[in-house]
Structure 1
Amino acid sequence: MNQLVLVRHGESEWNKKNIFTGLRNPDLTDKGLIEAVWAGRVLKSEGLRFDIAFTSKLKRAQHTLDIILGEMGGETPNIIEDPALNERDYGELSGLNKDQARERWGEEQVLTWRRSFDTPPPGGESLKDTAARVIPYYEEKIWPELTAGKNVIVSAHGNSLRALIMHLEKLTPEEILDRELATAAPQVYRLSDAGDVAEYRELVRSEGRDDGI
């Protein structure tokens, strides 16, 4: 069975400031760098090796992937960057502090944009829209690598990965909206030849541990 690892990027500068990021391009914080180092080390300790890597066109995901692969050592796999794996576009919310957004549009409306499956913010994407680009990309580009017997890592974003997890685990829109992804916490899947999830584990760093970093 083939292994697929999904990793949300480490904490970004705008995560720290509680700002809607979307397609904007901040880099990792010091904490995000440490998270990525830990992810690389724990994946190495699990004995995992990757034949090919996929990431978005945004540097927080790319930087996370580079750090992970550097910590794992060995031959660097081929890395493919594609905008299909970019974060959900938050439209007019992008660049706004979440408190500012609530002041402008109201708490209920902002919550609807954040937590509904198919209601996009002004000028942006819903999770349904995000899934409409992520899932075809997975089926056309990532799944063929898995069927060829390769182990694959994907470094991307909270919502692009939610869309993919929804597809892999056959979750409903309601179920995926409740799924939280910790920063730089690898989601490890073993997939059957048919693409079904045979085994799933989340590798999470315990708070307060430095893990030698």
Structure 2
Amino acid sequence: MKKDAKDLYSKIGYTFINSQLLDQALTHRSHKGQHNERLEFLGDSILSFVIADKLYHQFPKAREGDLSRMRSTLVRGQTLAEFGVEFKLGDFLRLGPGELKSGGYRRESTLADAVEAIIGAVFLDSGIDNCQELILNWYASRLEAISPEINQKDPKTLLQEYLQARKLPLPSYTVIDTKGQAHNQMFTVECIVEGMDSFTCAGTSRRKAEQKSAELALHKLKNEAKK
């Protein structure tokens, strides 16, 4: 394990037994070798379970809809990318030349995917108990701050409201690719907003892919509005 990768252990709060799992978690599909998409798939499911379990017990009187919205807020790409920035993952990612040149190490979706892949890698390295403890440590301040009373809206809803408020056409979502077996699929969805380039994201469900692409579109719209 390289010294800089060992530095990452202290940032994420976990030391790998099998350092090759971390190497894989940090490897983008544009880079040669075994990339992190399978670990990302695994980490996505584990994260959703851990956060759902925590919210269920933390808010015993909350309704299902409130629990779902809080979970969506906590596991969405923007939140995961914030962890990626906190951990300085951009300094450790293994990217192909083209992705590196285009600034992929700063891209929200790339950082978010790597965080999910690290979760999957930790699970394989030492099991669900250690993985759950690590996730809850990461999320401690966010779990303390979140509440059913706070309005939780998912990216698709926020994008729709943003466009409606400006009397602009609503976005369209199209599944452009599906890979894997029925129990282990990866969906690629294209979000089209009139007057803009399309936004393409992948997820372990159609809904997750749509939410990711909507989040990118909304982020781009807000940045354009600031200019």
TM-score (ref. length: structure 1) = 0.26
Higher relative contact order (CA 8 A, sep 6+): 1
Q: Per residue, is there more helix in 1 or in 2?
A: 2
| Structure whose CA Rg is larger | 2
